Amino acid sequence: MMTVAIFAVLIGLMLIGVPIAVSMGLTAAIFFVILGEPEHLLMVPARMYSSTTGFTLLAIPFFILAGNLMNTGGMTVRLFTFCQNLVGHIRGGLGHVNVVANIIVAGMSGSAIADAAGVGLVAMNAMSKAGFDRAFSAGVSAAAATIGPIIPPSIPLVIFGCMTGVSVGRLFLGGFLPGLLMGLGLMITVYITSVRRGYPTQPRASFKAVMSSLSGAWSAILAPIIVVGGILTGVFTPTEASVAACFYGAVVSIFLYREVSFRRLLEILAETADQTIRVLFIIAAAGLFGWLLIQQRVPDAVIQFLLSLSHNANVILLIINIILLVLGCFMEAISIMLLTIPIFMPLVAKLGIDPVHFGVMMTFNLMIALLTPPVGMVLYTVSCIGQVPLWKLAAELKWHIVALIVCLFLITYNPGIVTWIPTMVMG
């Protein structure tokens, strides 16, 4: 009953419009008073502070800054030109270019929203000029942006690793093949839709044109090599890799391409601070709420309930995926992660599920949540910057979401897709 009461209050606060972070913190405070433990309120500042002081979490602001620098520093346009010469001749032309560009740029930012606002805007404008329907262009941009947090670096995977103690390096490596699988699924969807609607292709570029555009896009392609290569070779930790990504992005954007002025740099720093504060405030509030859940043994109650349904790991993973997909319709992705990790991880350990597999699966699931109304953040972002009505965009996304759900269940029940590279590289 206590578990039901806690979540009833949390959902009730959210339904009346209280922000998710405030809802979690307020729910914890309310129940500490109701349970006769008001002295715990004195620990609220310390608990919230301690939730945001993990060394690994330092990577979040730096990866956000790196993504902002690279998206505004000229890399995006050059990368798009290269991808256009590479795959623009396939039926659906610029739709495939959009997906491939997001696969490459995923190695720079680790943020779906940053990729949607960067590559997404460039791709939408190019596709519209080429004769693609604006809603279709926006739908491809939104769906492709969700690849960003799967292919390393990834802010959600950093958070998962920090909360669970799972190696962030292994999580990063585990995201490679699922990210490529997402891209393949979206490209198949683009191709089928383009054939049905008669969308145009681009002329096949010559080898010389491909190589010429590659020389302009080398900086974007080199970024993920520096980040992931540095982690694998032991040159730096994932946190230090985020700093290296910032330094690289600043050098290329400010000194090489000279597209970021001092004034624009200050604006980028301000945007990064705003985005970081939003994420860390949610983490702080979730830490407090998680403390309440642990004290009331809510994870144990949830484990017992799910195990009463089945002891089969495959069935439990199906139930978890369904829960996450439903929650994704109403809550922001990182909030869901922070809320459910303390509940699901003991169950994952009990069933012997590989935590790297589960972490990537969970992140993949929550990227789909970024596209689903009424709370999908990428859905809102692309609707706004692309000037496409929200529900029209949501309708355009339906087949992309189906493709991503198929990919989700492929990695859920084929854990080797996630674990093969981490095992080969790190043992």
Q: Are 175 and 154 in contact (CB under 8 A)?
A: yes
Two structure tokens written together for 373: 């109304």
Tens-place pLDDT, residues 367-382: 998 888 766 778 877 8
Tens-place pLDDT, residues 307-346: 788 888 899 999 999 888 888 776 777 778 888 888 899 8
Average pLDDT score, the chain: 83
Nearest one of 252, 326, 321 to 69, comparing CA atoms = 252
Distance CA 228, CA 242 (A): 10
Q: Are 123 and 97 in contact (CB under 8 A)?
A: yes
Distance CA 70, CA 89 (A): 27
Chain centroid to Cα 83, Å, comes to 22
Sign of CA dihedral 114, 216, 92, 147: negative
* pTM for this predicted structure: 0.79
How many CB atoms neighbour CB 424 within 10 A? 9
Distance CA 111, CA 68 (A): 10
Distance CA 283, CA 301 (A): 23
Quote the pLDDT of residue 309: 80
Q: Where is pLDDT greater, at 15 or 325?
A: 325
Cis-peptide into 153, omega within 30 deg: yes
The structural domains of the chain, with segments of one domain joined by +, span 2-426
Quote the pLDDT of residue 48: 80
Is the pLDDT confidence value at 198 over 80?
A: yes
Quote the pLDDT of residue 404: 95
DSSP 207-249: HHHHHHHHHHHHHHHHHHHHHHHHHHTTSS-HHHHHHHHHHHH
* C-alpha radius of gyration, the chain, whole number: 21
**At how many degrees (to 10) do helices 59-72 and 207-232 cross?**
170
How many CB atoms neighbour CB 229 within 10 A? 12
Distances from the Cα of 212 to the Cαs of 23, 73, 215, 279, 383, in angstroms?
A: 53, 20, 5, 40, 34
